[in-house]
Chain A
C-alpha cells in the first residue's frame, strides 16, 4: 500500500467574466509516495503545487481524477485523522494562544482530553515554543507562527505530513530549526510530502522528488540518481598550455593560469581527451568527476514549453 497515490488528478478554473474560459491549473498528475518516504514536490511559483495540496485536503474539488491516501479514498474524512497539513503562510485564530489553538485542533481531530493534556506541552516543546505561554497568536512573529503551524500538524500521531513551503519567510535560524524538525519526523518514520521551490531544502531532506511545471509533472526520481544524471562532467587540470589547442574542441571552459590549464570535459570524452593530452606531453595534475546539482535537473525540466512525461 502506498502512502499517497495520485491518479490523473486534474483541476481547471473557470475564468473570465461569464466564467466561460478554462484555465488549467493541474493536468493529469499521477504519482506515488511510499510509506516512510520524504517526498519533495518541486516547482516554480504557480506551477500547481499548492493546487495539488488543496485538492488532496478537500479544500477544492478536482475537475477529474482521484487519489488514495493510505489505501482509502482521499476525501474520506476518517483518513484525515492520519494526516497533518501545514498550509503556505498559515494564518491562525489570532485571539487564541498556542496551547488553546492546539487544544482546539486536537479536539477537532479526535484527540482525547487526557491525550491533549499530555501532548500539547510536549509538542510545543518539540517545536521550540514551550515558553510562548498564554500569549495570543496575534503577537507572534512569522517564525513562531510557522512553528505553531508545524505543531498543529503533528499534535497527534500523524502518519503522513503535508507541508506547503514550510520554510517560506523564515530567517536562516528558523529554517535550520524547521529542517531539524522535519529530519526528526523523518527519523521517526513519518511520510513527508513537502512542496517547495527552494531546492537546497529539498536536496537536504528528500528521498525522492518530483518536478512540476505549468500544471504538469515534468520529472520524478530518486534524489541521488537525479543529481548524477544531471552531472556527467569531469574537471581536468594539467600542466602544458600548448596541449590545449589539441583538445580545445573537446573541452569547455578552459582557464589558463601560466602553464596550468583547467577545463571541463564530458565524461564520454574523458578518456579520449586524456589520451590526446598524453600524446601532447602534458602532465596530468588531477581528474575530478563533477556531481550535477538538483538545480540543473530542475532547470532542465522547467525550461521547455511543452513537456513529455519521463
Chain B
C-alpha cells in the first residue's frame, strides 16, 4: 500500500491516483492507523480485484495500458511476488499460491488480519527540482513556481511526516509488522527531507534494517554523507536514480539539475553500490515527448552497467507531455534511435523464453532492457494520436520559461517547426 504526501492512503503504488475506487474511500494516516485502513477499507478494493473488476476501479488502468504495449506493469510485478505468473502458467501458479486462503477470505467477506508487507511512502513535497512533468504535490519548487506564474492558488497539504500523530500511527503499524519485505521512499527529494533519516534510524533501532529491503528514489542533485552512513546499515537496499537522458535536455526537463553533476552522482552511486552485495541500482525514468528521442542514452548506460530501467507507467499526467502528443514524423525519430540501439545489442544478450518480469535479476536485466525499449517503440507506433494537445504544451512551457529564462529550442532545436506551428515564440 501507499501513503501519499498528504497522508492519504492508496491501495497500490502503481495505481492511477484519480480513480473510481479511491473517490469514496480515502483514508489518511493523520486520522487512522494504516493497518486499520489496510484490513478494513482496502478490503473493498481487494474484493474488486478477486472478482476480476480491477480495470473498472480505474486503479489498474495504467497497468493494462502498459501491458497492451508489451511493457511489464506493476500489476504483473506485484502478482509475481505472490507466486502468480501472468503467463501460460497463470492457472497453476494461481492455484499453487500460498495466498489462496486469503483470496477466499476476501470473497467470503472475512476480514484479513494481515498487515502490509510492501510499502511506498511519499515523504512530502520538499524538493530542490522543478521537473516539468512533476506536480506541486510532489515538488515544493513547483508549488512556489506555479503560484508565481498564476497556475496554482492553493497551498499544498502539509506533509504527513510533519504531523506527530501521523508519524506515531506509522511507527505503530511498522512495529507490529514482522513480515514487512519492502519499503520504498519517494519525495519530493528524500535526501533533503529530514523525516527520511528519522524513519531509517527508527528502523535500525527496531532492528528491521537487518531483514527488510529499503528503497528510495533520488534526483541525482545531492549527496549526503551522513545519510549514506545510515544506509550502510541496510544490507538490502534498492537505489532508484531519476534521470531522463544523458543529454543536456535533462537539465531542461529536470529543472534544477545539471547534467555533469547528475552523471557524477550517478557514477558515485554505481561505484558505491558495488561494495554491497545486497544493494541494487535502478534507473527511474518518466519519458516525455521532450526526452523520448534521447531515451536510448539511458538504455546504453543501463546496459553497460547491468542496471534495469523502470517507469511507473506511460506518463498519464500532464497529458500534453506524453510522447504520443508528438506527430508521427517526430515519433519516428525516437523509434529510429531506439531501434538502432536494440539492433546493436539484441543478439548479445541471454534470452529467456518469456518476457522478463523480475527486472531485478542481474542475469536477465539486459533482456529486460531490450524488451522495455521495444515496448516504447510499440507505444510510439501504435499509441493514440494526441497531437491536439500540442497547444497546451506550448502554453505550459512558455509559462515556465518566462520565469526560468530558458528555451526548449536551445536543447531540442529540431522541434522548432512543430512548436512554432502551435504558437511558440
**Are A and B bound to each other?**
no
Interface set of A (CB-CB < 8 Å, partner B): none
